Every structure is written in structure tokens, then in C-alpha cells.
A and B are shown apart, each in its own frame.
Chain A
Amino acid sequence: MNKVIYSILGPLAAIIIALFIGAIIISLIGKDPVEVYGVLFYGTLGNSYGIGQVLFKATPLIFTGLSVAFAFKAGLFNIGAEGQMIIGGFAAAWTGFTFVTLPWIILIPLTIIAAFVGGALWGFIAGYLKAKYGSHEVINTIMLNFIAAALASYLVNEIYGIPATIHTPEVSGSSFLLRFDAITGLFPGSPFNTSFLAAILCTIIFYFIINRTPFGYQIRTLGLNKNAAEYARMKIKKLVVLSMLISGGIAGIGSINFIFGYKHYYELGFSEGAGYIGIAVALIARNNPFAIIITAFFFGILEYGGLTINTMVPKELVTILQALLIILVITFVRIIDVLKIKFLKSA
């Protein structure tokens, strides 16, 4: 019981302080903090459309968070979820607008596989370079992000694009992922769609692979002690390549939310930096797959929240809050730890 209290005390204090600092900023620019926070809360969590928007924003973050976490389990730092999502997204969209005659039962799995393969290819490059040449995956994945953006730009602008737009043709109707709005009538108007279910499924598979299979055991060993993995005669190079590949693949699937669940085409810039935010999501969730869902939801609130208050204050207020919150949480965890020990000692 005490343990639970202590574990929420830190984040709680952090939230209060962050909101307080935010309130000061809002007052300084002559606005009413209560009103702004009210709108922020109502706009995101206070109505079903807002919740839908938040979940819609959270969906790709679950994928990219899982992607980063998977690599992390193997001791690799994948900064490349952004690029992997771009390539995976393009591959999926291409499949979607090329094989227009396939029925949904085939086409949907096919597009998801394409998204995985595209992302996996991009992850594989970094993994292979690491295994073969020992070159640092952090740098290579950053570089591959830039290259992916340029490549996608080329493909859209020069080859597959619709003139005078920055997107590809629409994907086949049978590859659409339904909106919850359309199925259930919930979250009316929001593009929150069934790719969220894929994200949940992916989380469960992630957990299963990492914690229940010999392969996952090896990945974890590699991540925690590479030398022990080597002495246990695990195939380290293979594991490095495979984990980057899978990590990239997961990020690739993150693209289906936007492409098949919302716009139905590939649009340049669709990723909105989800790959980068995924790093924060994974790290804050301490690479725990289920915590990633919660963290992603929280980031979804902030991602969408900025827009809801944009007519009153610059939406960057939310970015500032987001940053403050992260810094405060990670510091407070420690402060509470210290307090806890002091408390227990004196008790």
C-alpha cells in the first residue's frame, strides 16, 4: 500500500508543479489559467470527440514507443522510428493503391505486412551496419531518418504523387481501417480507428515475445550483459540484426493509423515526429509495453491539447508543460525515493 502511494506521489507532485508553472505563464500573458486549463481539459478528455482525438494521436505513439523499447531490450538505441515509419508507411500505401482489386481480407493483412517490411528494412540497415561494422546505431538511425524523408519526398513528388498535392493516390477502399465512429458511433467525428486494436495486439505480442520466449530471453540477455550473452553462446550479430529489424517493423506499422485509418493516402510529413516522441514514450514507460500504452495516451492528450487552446494561447504552452512534466517526473522519482528511505529509517 505504502509502495503504491510512493510510486504515485512523485508523478502527482510533478503534475501539480508543472500545472502551477503553466498557470503562472498563462497569467503572465494576461490570460486566465482556470479558463485555459478548463478548455484544455474539456477539449481533450471532457467529450467523446476529444477522447477520440487523443486516442488517435496516441495510436502511432504506442507503435513507435514499442519500437524503441524493443530495440532497447536488446541494448540498442533506435532513434530511427521516424524514418522506419516513413518507409513502412510508403510501402503500405503503395501496396494499398497498387493492388486495388484484392478483397479486404487479403489486402489489409498485406498492407500491414508491407508496413512491417518497409520499416524492418530501414531498421535492418542500421542493425546490419552495427553487427557487421560495429558502427553506432544511434548515428546511423538519425542519418536514415533524413534519408527516409528525402526518399519519400522523391517518391511522392517525382513518381507517385498526385499533381499539385503532396500525397499519393488514394489506397483501395478495401484496405481502409474503419473508424470507431463508423462502427459504433462513439467518438463522433474523430479519426480514431481500428489500428488502435492493432496497437494493443502488438503490445501483447511484444510482451509475449520478450518475456515468454527463448528469443526474448536472449534479447534481454544481450541488452543487459552482452558479454554474458556471448559466453552463453547466443548469436549476437544475428540478435542485433533481428532486434533492429523487428523494432523497425513495429515502427513501420505505426503508419497505418494515419494512412489507412484516416487519410487513405500517403502524405508527406504525416508522421508528425511520432518516431521521436516514441523515444520519450518508451523511456518514460521504462520500456514496459503496457506502461507504453498509458504513456502514449498521456502524450496523446498533450499532442492534441495544444490545438484546443490555440485560439487563446500559443499552443506551445502545451509543449512547455509536456517538457516540464517529464523533467519533474524523472527528478521527483528520485526525491521521493530519498524521502522514502529517510522516512523508513526514522520509523
Chain B
Amino acid sequence: SKKSVQTTESGKLKVGLVFDVGGRGDKSFNDAAYRGLEKAKNELGVDFEYIEPGPGADREAALRQFATRPDIKLIFGIGFIFTDEITKMAQEFPNKDFACVDYTYDQTKTIPPNLLALEFKEDEGCFLVGAIAGLTTKTQAVGFVGGMESPLIKKFEKSYEAGVKYVNPECKVFISYAGVTGDAFKNPGKGKELALGQYSQGADIIFHASGVTGLGVFEAARETKKLAIGVDSDQYNEAPGFILTSMIKSVDVAVFDCIRQEKDGKFNGGKAETFGLNSKGVDYIYNDKNNNLISEGTRKRAEEIRELIIAGKIATFLK
């Protein structure tokens, strides 16, 4: 504890972050959050610590562990699954600040003033990559591989499908889930077989929202020389040449911004901050690595659709 006294004395801001089940190194959601931390460390000179809890009761205990530490001021929970616990902790520790990525905002309840909810409009991004897939497919069939079947992932599935159908109503969309427990987010073997199944049935592009399981989808893409779409982070490097694009969430930016506000004493909780296409909080990847995979026409059309979504002229969600 001597050390911690020193850090507070030095006046350095210290941040605690609790990861979602997948943990560090998932090359996707959690890693995006981690990038935000690193950036803050490099550019703002803050310190951080993190915990990777298991499922169940550990989330609260992990948050509490940080909340009871005198040297830690700001605490992140990464993932919608933290919603209840972080709300509770924010109420119990009014002197600390909290932020939760993918917080599930319940209109009937108020968010504590020391809690900032970070929401991402995945549906907009998914719709957009769905449209790109629908425009790019040559076989008139695309696929979706989800991790654990849950409302959140269903949302990805539905808006992706809506995007596909919006540009290509005749296109088939295959849908598979890797499982029904949290482990379904870390089962690449299953992901690969699911993807191979879809490819063998005629799909030529598969979008995944399945955490580490998606790495299996990419393997299948490499093996069959077909395309896949990444999620959360730019996943091009997981299968160079076979990743059509990625639906990215700027979790890193959100985390970084939040830390900067805290550092500047401008932390502004008690509300939900929403990141959508308009603020580039969600987006798709188009750069010199993958621009040869996305045709000029497709790119143009995608940008038009982006504008329509931002203008609220498209329902991004398939009922």
C-alpha cells in the first residue's frame, strides 16, 4: 500500500477497468477498450489497473475492489453485462466515478450522477456492413455467425440482415449461433465449422459477432478463400485479404475521452452518451488494405446509406 500512497501523492490519475468475460486479447471488444487505456496512459500520463473476472458474482466484487482502493478514481465496466452491478456500485460509492461501455439504459430508472453510460448504436454499423455484404455478394447468399444467443447479439443479427435485404432483397442470409452459454464467445472451433457450413451452402461473405469464436470464422474464410466481416475492432490482420471490412465500435475513443474528461475534472455522469454513425462512434472500415475488396460503386452506395441512416430515414432494425 506504500506504492499506492505514492501515486496519489504524485497526483497521477489512476483508472481501474474490469473486462468482460472474453478478457484481454480478444482482438475485438475488450482489446478496443484496452487500446483506449493505453492511449490514455501514453498521451495523458494516467496509470491503470485491470481485472478479468469470471462470470456471475465476480463482476461486483471486482468493481468493489477498485472502488475501495483510495488511489483509484475512475472505474470502467466493459460490457452490457455490468449494467446492474455498476449502477449499484455507483450508488454505494458516490465519491468515485464510473463508466460502463454498452450500458443497457432503462428509461424508467435514472443513472447515478457519478456514472456515465456509454452506448453504441451497433445497429447502424451492422446495417451498413450488411448493405456492403449485400452489394458485394456474388452468390446471392451471405451469413451471420453469433456467439452466445442473447438479445444483444440478436440485435446485431437483425440489423445486419436488414442491411442486406435493404440493398438486395433476394439475397439469402444464413444465421448460426455458436452456443447458449458464455463459452460460445470463445469457441473458434465451433465458429469455423459453422462458417464452413454456411460457405458450403453457398454463402460467400460472413459477418460474425462472436468474440473469439469469430477467429474460427476467419479461418474458414481463409480455407475456402471467401470473405468475412470483422466486428468491434478492425480485424483485417486476422485474415489479410479475406476480411471484407469490419464493423467497428470506437470503444477505445470512448474510453479515452472519458479518462480525459476525468483528468480535466470535467467528468459528466448521470447520463447516457450515445455513439452512432454520426459521430463515427460506430463505422465500417475502408482503407488502403481492403479498398480492393470493396468496389467503387459499393463504397458510394454505402456512403449514401450512411447519410440516410444519420438522417433517420432508414429503420436499421429488422422486426
Contact = CB atoms under 8 A, between A and B. Distances in A.
Question: Are any A and B Cβ atoms less than 8 Å apart in their complex?
Answer: yes
Nearest to A56: B57
A152 B55 CA distance: 16
Interface string A151-179: 01110010001011110000000000000
Given A267-B56, A268-B181, A307-B58, A165 B51 contact: no
B151 A163 contact: yes
Contact of B61 (A149, A152, A307): A307
A164 B152 contact: yes
Interface of B: 49-58, 60-62, 64-65, 80-81, 83-84, 92, 104, 148-152, 154-155, 180-182
A164 B51 contact: no
B150 A166 contact: yes
Contacts of A166: 81, 150-151
A157 B151 contact: yes
Contact of A258 (B57, B61, B83, B182): B57
Interface residues of A, number: 33
Interface stretch (A119-127, A214-222, A308-316): A308-316
Given A310-B51, A310-B62, A311-B49, A165 B80 contact: yes
A269 B57 contact: no
Contacts of B62: 307, 310
A272 interface: yes
B151 A262 contact: no
Smallest CB-CB A-B distances: 5 pairs: A153-B180, A272-B56, A269-B55, A311-B49, A310-B51
11 contacts: A152-B180, A157-B150, A157-B151, A157-B154, A165-B151, A189-B92, A191-B60, A270-B55, A270-B56, A304-B61, A307-B53
Given A164-B152, A164-B155, 9 more contacts: A157-B149, A165-B151, A267-B56, A268-B180, A269-B55, A269-B182, A272-B56, A307-B61, A307-B62
Contacts of B181: 149, 153, 268-269
Given A268-B181, A311-B51, A165 B104 contact: yes
Contact of A164 (B50, B57, B60, B151): B151
Instruction: Report which residue of B52, B57, B155 has the largest number of chain A beta carbons within 10 angstroms of its beta carbon.
Output: B57
A320 interface: no
Nearest to B182: A269
Contacts of A314: 52
Contacts of A268: 148, 150, 180-182
